[in-house]
Chain A
Amino acid sequence: MLEIQDIRKTFFEGTPNEVQALRGVSLSIQRGSFVCVIGTNGSGKSTLLNAVAGAFIVDSGQIELDGTDITHFPEHRRAKLIGRVFQDPFSGTAPSMTIAENLALASRRGQSRGLTWALTPSRRENLRDRVAAMGLNLEDRLNNPIGTLSGGQRQSLTLLMAALVKPSLLLLDEHTAALDPKSADQVIRLTQDIVSRDQLTTLMVTHSMHQAAHLGDRVVMMDKGRVACDISGQEKKRLRPDDLLSRFEDLRRANQLDESAAEMLRSQYV
């Protein structure tokens, strides 16, 4: 379904600020699979999702989605296949447009937008039902600007918008990180509902070991722009947050070892 082959991305190449954000990531994700991506800050999780979504074109490697080679597609062309929710609740919705207008925009994701009426009565009715089904009591506020809603409500709506037209792939980048614990729980529950109802193939970045252990059927841990470990099947089912923490600890120790070894070599030979 999603085939990522040895993608690489370096920012500011050839300058002192050079960052090798992705150093050869390969990942193969099956249809209907729900993958959690974890890793320390700066390990390249967001960059991986951005590479798939097309925020930039990768330096090398190949990305195939649904049998289509999308490596060189611009972002707006990939949108036909991909639904996204960002970390920042302000990124996923247009604040001064109404809830109904935002949903209407999302209901044509990846389709042509012509000079046809955007919010026909039947479309409005349909959107109202979808909002009501979320159980957030927002169905009577469809004409309010979305900027007047709380972060949690906006994030829930963004999730609904991402799945309004069924995407081949759903990308969630720490979409609960900016929310208070209660709203975060609500958004996670909504995520589970939507993903399981539509059998969506999902790639979710999270910093919560709890979420990573309990959600989905696979965990990918990233480190320094590479996949450090990949846990699925029975092993994932048995996985507990503590196991993930100890894996982080292992990684940290290995990194330290690398660095101290390099330091030793440098002091001896340079």
Chain B
Amino acid sequence: MTLLIGSLTIALILSLLAFGILISFRVVAFEDLTVDGSMTLGGAMAAAMIVRGTHPVVATMCGSLSAAVAGAVTATLHTKFGINRLLSGILVMTGLYSVNLRVMGKSNLPLLSQRTVMDYADALSKNVFHGQSIVHLAGWEASARDLSSLLLMLCVTTTIGGLLFVFFRTNLGLAVQAIGDNSRMIRSLGVNVELMTTLALFVGNGVIGLSGALLAQYQGFADVQMGIGMMVWGIASVILGETLVGTKKIGFLISGAVMGSILFRLLVAIALRWGLNPNDLKLITSAFVFGALVVPRFISRGSRLVRRKQNA
């Protein structure tokens, strides 16, 4: 039970990452490789500020903001200096590795006795569960602290998801959506595509940084390696979510990203339970994304072949 709750909580934190990936890779169709760096930057910045005594909420927001700026830098390298998108992301991601070390001062920064946003989960627990430390949930026993962490993350994810949904229903948000769909058309309708792409990467990486900041506080440390492989993880969640909802409507895609993130996390948890070596996890994730990208193509080609045979 504890394992399940822990998995769900992390899945919710990582669904913020999936939101960010959704915005850059899908909505504005920008293959943004900043992700691994900006996720770490979010965590590193928040942890470093918390250690220095900053209020955890302020620290979390600064973590998010710094990651957002990193995203805007990537976009600017592409739009203003004409550097290829992938290379722009790689340059920023690589540079961020040093920045993150500078921010933290060392490669791993523990948050032991500091006040973090997880303390709000404890406060929540006092209100919801009236100070009980064990909660009975449909016949299962669960720690109130774990449950309230889950509840807190559920609130955060729902709020951010809701805000993004509202944003994409505004005139500005609609214009941002059109960039990935038909940039030529939206340019001819008077939208500064370069500026809007920068805005999208700013927002996307901001959400990713928020994910990093929350993850660091949940697991109790920030690590310079914590972002590695996160981009592929996010892509896997987004693809899984798309398959689950089966439409391209933005509201569905946003909720799909949450579902995809949860499902993927659970799949991984089960695989680990069955004895999968954690070291193999990233290879499996990559293979999964490869499969998810290729299999649909095979299916449609297969059905075309079948149809052709029937016609012949």
Chain A interface residues toward B at CB < 8 A: 53, 74-77, 79-80, 82, 84, 86, 90-97, 101, 104-106, 108-111, 113-119, 145, 161
B49 interface residue (CB < 8 Å to A): no
What is the interface of chain A mostly: helix, strand, loop, or mixed?
A: loop
Residues of B133-170 at the interface with A, using a CB-CB cut-off of 8 Å, are: 167, 169-170
In the complex formed, the residue of A with least CB distance to B181 is A94
Question: Within 8 Å CB of A117, what residues of B?
Answer: 169-171
Question: Within 8 Å CB of A109, what residues of B?
Answer: 189-190
- How distant is the Cα of A82 from the Cα of B188 in the complex, in angstroms? 8
B90 interface residue (CB < 8 Å to A): no
B177 interface residue (CB < 8 Å to A): yes
Known: A97-B177, A117-B170, A118-B169. A105 touches B186 (CB 8 A): yes
What's the nearest-Cβ distance from chain B to residue A94, in Å? 4
- List 10 extra interface pairs beyond A84-B188, A94-B185, A110-B190, CB under 8 A: A76-B192, A79-B189, A92-B185, A104-B171, A105-B174, A109-B190, A114-B170, A117-B170, A118-B173, A145-B248
- Find out whether the CB atom of B177 lies under 8 angstroms from the CB atom of A115: no
In the complex formed, the residue of B with least CB distance to A81 is B190
A-B contact count (CB 8 A): 87
- Find out whether the CB atom of A94 lies under 8 angstroms from the CB atom of B170: no
Known: A79-B188, A105-B186, A109-B190. A94 touches B178 (CB 8 A): yes
Q: List 18 A-B contacts (CB under 8 A).
A: A74-B192, A76-B192, A79-B189, A80-B190, A90-B182, A91-B185, A93-B182, A94-B186, A96-B248, A101-B174, A101-B177, A105-B174, A105-B186, A106-B189, A109-B190, A114-B172, A115-B167, A117-B171
Question: Within 8 Å CB of A75, what residues of B?
Answer: 187-188
What is the interface of chain B mostly: helix, strand, loop, or mixed?
A: helix
Question: Within 8 Å CB of A118, what residues of B?
Answer: 169-171, 173-174
What's the nearest-Cβ distance from chain B to residue A49, in Å? 11
- Find out whether the CB atom of A91 lies under 8 angstroms from the CB atom of B169: no
Interface size class of B (residues with CB under 8 A): 20 to 34
Known: A76-B190, A93-B182. A113 touches B177 (CB 8 A): no
Question: Within 8 Å CB of B73, what residues of A?
Answer: none
In the complex formed, the residue of B with least CB distance to A74 is B192
What's the nearest-Cβ distance from chain B to residue A169, in Å? 12
In the complex formed, the residue of A with least CB distance to B188 is A84
B193 interface residue (CB < 8 Å to A): yes
What's the nearest-Cβ distance from chain A to residue B249, in Å? 8
- How distant is the Cα of A53 from the Cα of B178 in the complex, in angstroms? 19
- How distant is the Cα of A119 from the Cα of B184 in the complex, in angstroms? 22
Q: From B172, B188, B191, B248, name the one whose CB has the most chain A CB atoms within 10 angstroms.
A: B188
- How distant is the Cα of A211 from the Cα of B159 in the complex, in angstroms? 56
Q: From B182, B184, B186, name the one whose CB has the most chain A CB atoms within 10 angstroms.
A: B182
B175 interface residue (CB < 8 Å to A): yes
Question: Within 8 Å CB of A82, what residues of B?
Answer: 188
- Choose from A86, A92, A95, A105 the contact partner of B175 (Cβ within 8 Å): A105
- Find out whether the CB atom of B182 lies under 8 angstroms from the CB atom of A91: yes
- How distant is the Cα of A224 from the Cα of B190 in the complex, in angstroms? 31
What's the nearest-Cβ distance from chain A to residue B206, in Å? 16
Question: Within 8 Å CB of B181, what residues of A?
Answer: 94-97
Known: A95-B182, A96-B248, A105-B178. A115 touches B190 (CB 8 A): no
- Find out whether the CB atom of A105 lies under 8 angstroms from the CB atom of B189: yes
- Find out whether the CB atom of B171 lies under 8 angstroms from the CB atom of A113: yes
What's the nearest-Cβ distance from chain B to residue A71, in Å? 18
Question: Within 8 Å CB of B248, what residues of A?
Answer: 96, 145
